[in-house]
Amino acid sequence: MFVRVKNIKGNRYAYLVENTWQAKGSRQTVKAYLGKVLTPAAEAAHPVPDISTHTYPDAVLALAAWTLKNHGFAETPEGHRKDNAHVKLSEKAIRHKTKNAALELNEGYLCDHTLNQLLNFVGEGTREEEVGQRLANAMLEAGISVPQETFVQLFNKIFKPLKEESPL
C-alpha cells in the first residue's frame, strides 16, 4: 500500500491506495482517506536530536518532532502547531483545523497512518539489509529524513535477527 494524492477542485487530498492485478492490468483500490495535503516549506536546519538514550518509539517521535521544527512548526504544550495545522505526536494525530491531514515533508507524507506504521515497525528478519531497507522505506514514506549515523542508531534499536533455517 502507498499514499496517493488526488487533486479535487483545486485542493490536494491524500488516500491510502493498494494495487491489485487483474486480467486487464493493475487497478488501484482506495483503502482509506488520509486527509487534506498540507505542504509546509522547510525553514530552518535544527541540530539532530541525540536518540542514543531513547527507546525506539521515543526516538521515532523525537525525530518526527525534529522534522516538524525544521518545517516551521512551533512546539506548544498541546503539540506542534503551524497556521491551522496541529500535530499531537503523543496521540499520533495530525490535523488541519479539526479534520485529518497529511503533511508533505521531504519526500513523503506524515499522517496518522504513516506515523503508526513507523511506530509499529517490526524489525525482525534474517538479513540486516532487508530490515534496514524496510525501515528506510517506512521513514521515507513518513517524510522523516535523517543523517546516516542517526538512522544506524535507530536501526540498532529495532533490529532483532532471526535464525536462518539451514537448507536440507
Which residue type, as a one-letter code, is found at position 75?
E
User: Does some domain include residue 30?
Assistant: no
Give me the pLDDT at residue 2, please. 84
State the total domains in the chain.
Answer: 1
Q: Is residue 18 part of a domain?
A: no
Q: Are 6 and 13 in contact (CB under 8 A)?
A: yes
Q: Looking at residue 130, what is its pLDDT?
A: 87
User: Is 112 part of any domain?
Assistant: yes
99 falls within a domain:
yes
Contacts of 65 (CB under 8 A, 6+ apart): 49, 75, 80, 89
pLDDT given at position 163? 64
What cell does 102 get?
497529511
- Do 14 and 4 contact (CB within 8 A), yes or no? yes
Please give the residue range of the domain that contains residue 138.
36-157
Give the span between the Cα atoms of 3 and 141, in whole angstroms. 8
Q: Is residue 102 part of a domain?
A: yes
- Smallest CA-to-CA distance from 66 within 80, 56, 78, 54 is with 80
pLDDT the model gives residue 127: 82
- Count of all residues that appear for the chain in the document: 168
Asked if residue 126 belongs to a domain, the reply is yes
* Predicted local distance difference test score (pLDDT) of residue 158: 86
Q: pLDDT tens digits, the chain, 168 residues: what are they?
A: 788 888 899 999 999 898 888 888 888 888 888 889 988 888 878 888 888 888 999 999 999 999 999 988 888 888 888 888 898 888 888 999 889 999 998 888 999 999 999 999 887 777 888 888 999 999 999 989 888 999 998 888 888 776 665 565
Residue in the structure block whose three cell numbers are 514514506: 141
Q: Is residue 163 part of a domain?
A: no
Is residue 165 included in any domain, yes or no?
Answer: no
pLDDT at 12: 92
